[in-house]
Chain A
């Protein structure tokens, strides 16, 4: 391991502080699932991903990551900044005029670390598959990671992609689902239940693993384990259970903080629960 679990948890704590401060700073954005995925992003970028912060679009010889649920951009931006892609001071520009940190991730402003626009849900798995096919043609054995929301799986294009990847043996692909059970209008179980995602993906031919996305040790081990499963003819699906709002007590266990910014008081209450470990931007 490059870091101890404690070090990774400290990074995740700082990323969570950044998330609530960024969303508070522009009074918009999506804190809920950003917080829920902070441990995943930390594990991915600081432990699992073979990547260079000296960014190239192609990323030859590097593992690539695609975010399909682009609304959780705050967690990605903060992670990229702390990983060294750009200066963390830029986080203060999130969602503001002329910023490279657009509301949803984009290549349009050339922010290092981003390879495709997302925000309109349901497109990222297809893109990740395409990137994996190109790597295969290039003889590049690196891994392709993708993250999708669970509510996002209601979009049909995901199932086109889910059918395609196993049939075509796209086996350097590790897709994680942010299985927080929430979406905008309520719990996914009430909006349009996903029911037995494991069985669904297995029926399509994926190798499915389950991880606890808010346990640093578990998520690091889970992603490393997922890597060992690649190259064996099947794409890997990491069904990762998380808590929306994880780390901020009043935001947890509800869809209410999917896309709501905290006010000053709420910000203070959140920051009191999240130790400043690497220095605020």
Chain B
């Protein structure tokens, strides 16, 4: 198992803030909108340097999506910012009609996704957003795994023409990816090459997959770990190549197993290469209040859950 270390922990939303600032410096058409959550979305640096390119919309997410769609008509590249729940479920029809169907170059940037939002509880912890967004024709869906990857993804989507959903989170987590990485939309990242099982992880679950990989190595299991940061379009080729080699797969996401990354992988495999698969994901449930660590543990999203799923899926191999 390849060794991954980290010297600091940071939140992915700060990676978004840094990436937005960089994208703003590079391209004067980049504009930002926020619905009364500037601090949470780490937009301060952008706002400080480009006040005229920032729009405070107030607590009016539907209006924010509509305004963003309208701004693209004048050649702007709007990044909207609010919590994941209010970025998706709250404004689904606005995104559907004014952004996706109209094919507008809006970047819907969503913080505090999943259980790790923590103490605010289930009203704020959306576990359905990947499903909602990936079902929209033409929508790109990205869930990066650490500060550096989120920063790189933010800069990359500014250069991509078309609607994007970018999902990130609140807690500080290890920073373990390359600070100078080039982010390629739709391209999987090989975290560790292995032969016994393919672990496919997204977002906060990538570090947990690495922890699981280390535990599995101790048990004599050689896990291949792939980071799928872009859930749509899915890197079919990378997944099929790996699964051909390992013959079984475990998908890991901080999201409902209904509608998430795991289902996208299952759809691919069931048509191309039927393979035993286990899902590390929440199981058709809402979240609740607690610390991020407590919640990840209670809802079965820890390294130990990945290890168990791997053992189970290997047992199902023919």
Contact = CB atoms under 8 A, between A and B. Distances in A.
Interface in A210-228: none
A56 B58 CA distance: 32
Contacts of A122: 62
Contacts of A59: 73
B74 A127 contact: no
Interface in A122-172: 122-135, 137-138, 140, 156-157, 160-161, 163-164, 168
B304 to A, nearest CB: 45
Given A108-B103, A164-B67, A120 B55 contact: no
Contacts of B75: 58, 134, 138
A118 interface: yes
A126 B63 CA distance: 5
Contact of B70 (A117, A120, A131, A163): A131
Given A116-B102, A131-B71, A164 B97 contact: no
A58 B29 CA distance: 13
Contacts of A129: 63, 66-67, 70
B119 interface: no
A116 B63 contact: no
A116 B69 contact: yes
A137 B31 contact: yes
B94 interface: yes
A128 B70 contact: yes
B191 interface: no
B66 A108 contact: no
B237 interface: no
A64 B73 CA distance: 10
A107 interface: yes
A64 B74 CA distance: 11
Given A126-B63, A126-B66, A164-B57, A120 B73 contact: no
A57 interface: yes
B53 interface: yes
A164 B101 contact: no
Contacts of A135: 74
Interface in B61-97: 62-76, 78, 93-94, 96-97
B102 A107 contact: yes
A106 interface: yes
Interface string A93-107: 000000000000011
Nearest to B29: A137
13 contacts: A107-B103, A116-B98, A117-B97, A117-B102, A127-B67, A127-B98, A129-B66, A130-B78, A134-B75, A160-B58, A160-B62, A161-B66, A168-B55
Given A129-B70, A130-B73, A130-B78, 9 more contacts: A120-B96, A126-B94, A128-B70, A129-B63, A129-B67, A130-B71, A131-B70, A131-B73, A161-B66
Closest 10 CB pairs of A and B: A130-B70, A134-B74, A126-B66, A160-B60, A160-B63, A130-B67, A127-B70, A131-B70, A157-B62, A130-B71
Interface of A: 57-60, 64, 66, 106-108, 115-120, 122-135, 137-138, 140, 156-157, 160-161, 163-164, 168
